Amino acid sequence: MTKLIFGVVADDLTGGMETAAMLVAAGIECGFVTDPDLVGSCGDVPAILVAQKTRVIPASEAVTMTEKAARALLARGARQIFFKYCATFDSTDQGNIGPVSDLLMQLTGAEYTAFCPASPALRRTVYNGHLFLGTELISDSPKRNDPLTPMTDPDLVRVLQRQTPTRVGLLAHSQVNAGADSAGRAIAEAAARGIRYFIADTIYDRDLDTLATLTCDWKLMTGNATIVQHYPAIWKARGLIATARRPPGLRAVGGGGVVLAGSCAERTLEQLAEFEKSHPLFRIDLPNAEDVAATVGDALDWARPRLDRGPVGFATSGAPEAVKMAQQRYGREGAAQLAETILGRLAVSLRSIGVRRFVVAGGETSGAIVEHLGIRRLRVGPYGGPGIGTAVTEDEDPVALCLKSGKLGPIDLFATTLEAMLNPEAVN
């Protein structure tokens, strides 16, 4: 059996799917499950990813769920564990990046690890330990208004240190720029002083390549999906995997198509506006949607006569003012849970009337919908660009899914992705 080179635990489904899609695009077959109990059934593959909805749940629950996933991957002989989180380091002072990393350090026996959320191609960079979105510090960007994980401190060393008793330090850009060997010596010297976690300055794609070379043999690495693209070439060069082969393509899926949007990110709002130019969109009034059954029923009644004419959309997404109103009425977590419950139950009802193609916007929303649909395993297609991960269930009555990060994707993603699901080979 092929040795499991790479075992990934992802803290949401959108980023998890994007990570798996990057590996598939590089010719690395990657098992994708949402239930750690299915890790053993993924077959003879060099990479397996367990994606779970752990980003914003209580830290103790996130640790418990992650432990089960990591133990399953380690039991399969995973050479390295990779903890995948968001490019904007989505977390709070209670976690969950710090507590989960503490658990993974213990399980893997790693001496130290690094944190690399950067995605230079998307202008998410880290310099002097500070996270930038384009030219703005993250604390000056729209991310400061995130309803669940507002980022008001750009210094990731401080952010992470508030989440963990483990000492956090900086791997400065001058050290990264000097190459993997030099960076490794800098880390070893800092580790001798008791530092175990390193925020990695990352400005350019070449920095990602350096960091991948540096960390390829580590027991534990953490970061955003982007650095994962740099590992396959290293594995091949070192003979850890055979020559890459193109994994089987995704099946074409017919049936109705829908967009389900729960993200309040500016990009998702722009994508919804573009979709609404040519497709019907049902906007759910979340501040007045406490009767879930009635809200779902109204949305389904609206959809029935329209689905035969093409894709439709549903959104609990709103501008910051609308989000604030919902949070004032239900509380921050209550508003998020209400939106996820409505869209999750709506997805189940839509599936019952023939919908088989779903584009979902938002990490938490994606997790809720996959849970409601009872999906535990997916075949992921090759990477289609930032924020685009597509997959199909492997049962007799397949469902096609695109789980989209709220902050990413081209403006016309909703309509074009639903169309592509009808004939995925045409775009792969």
The position carrying tokens 């925020």 is 199
What pLDDT is attached to residue 30? 93
Query: Measuring CA to CA, which residue among 237, 178, 238 is closest to residue 207?
Result: 178
pLDDT of 426 strictly over 60: no
CATH of 256-426, one of 3.40.50.10800, 3.40.1160.10, 3.40.980.20, 3.40.50.360: 3.40.980.20
Asked if the model's pLDDT at residue 92 lies above 60, the reply is yes
Phi, psi of 411, rounded to the nearest 5 degrees: -65, -25
- Token look-up 């830290």 returns 59
What is the pTM assigned to this prediction? 0.88
Long-range contacts of 301-308 (CB under 8 A, 24+ apart): 303/258, 303/350, 303/353, 304/353, 306/280, 307/256, 307/258, 307/353, 307/354, 307/355
Q: Is 160 exposed, middle or buried (0-12, 13-18, 19+ CB in 10 A)?
A: buried
Confidence of residue 22 (pLDDT cuts 50, 70, 90): very high
In angstroms, how far is the first alpha carbon of the chain from the final one?
28
What residue segments make up the domains of the chain, in order of their start? 6-237, 256-426
Range with the largest mean pLDDT of 22-36, 99-113, 131-145, 310-324: 99-113
What's the rounded Cα separation, in Å, for the pair 204 and 133? 14
What Å distances lie between residue 35 and 51, 53, 86, 202, 374, CA to CA?
Answer: 8, 11, 20, 33, 10
How high is the pLDDT of residue 425? 62
Determine the pLDDT at residue 2. Answer: 66
Q: Report residue 198 as tokens.
A: 């390193």
pLDDT band at 225 (very low <50, low <70, confident <90, very high): very high
Task: Report residue 160's pLDDT band, with 50, 70 and 90 as the boundaries.
Answer: very high
Take residue 56 and report the two structure tokens written for it: 């914003």
Dihedral angle sign, alpha carbons of residues 80, 86, 92, 93: positive
> Picking from 83-87, 262-266, 344-348, which range would have the lowest pLDDT averaged per residue?
262-266
3-state secondary structure the chain: CCCCCEEEEECCHHHHHHHHHHHHHCCCCEEEECCHHHHHHCCCCCEEEEECCCCCCCHHHHHHHHHHHHHHHHHCCCCEEEEECCCCCCCECCECHHHHHHHHHHHHCCCCEEEECCEHHHCEEEECCEEEECCEEHHHCHHHHCCCCCCCCCEHHHHHHCCCCCCEEEECHHHHHCCHHHHHHHHHHHHHCCCCEEEECECCHHHHHHHHHHHCCCCEEEECHHHHHHHHHHHHHCCCCCCCCCCCCCCCCCCEEEEEECCCCHHHHHHHHHHHCCCCEEECCHHHCCCHHHHHHHHHHHHHHHHCCCCEEEECCCCHHHHHHHHHHHCHHHHHHHHHHHHHHHHHHHHHCCEEEEEEECHHHHHHHHHHHCCCEEEECCCCCCCCCEEECCCCCCCEEEEECCCCCCCCHHHHHHHHCCCHHHCC
Residue 406: name the closest of 375, 353, 364 by CA.
Answer: 364
| Confidence tier at 428 by pLDDT (50, 70, 90) | very low
Rounded Cα gap, residues 8 and 53, in angstroms: 14
**Mean pLDDT along residues 377-383:** 91
**pLDDT for position 331:** 82
Pick the CATH number of 6-237 from 3.40.250.10, 3.40.50.10840, 3.40.50.720, 3.90.550.10: 3.40.50.10840
Tens digit of each residue's pLDDT (9 = 90 or more) over 341-362: 999 999 999 999 999 999 999 8
* Beta-bridge partner residues of 200: 171
Q: Please, what is the average pLDDT of the chain?
A: 92
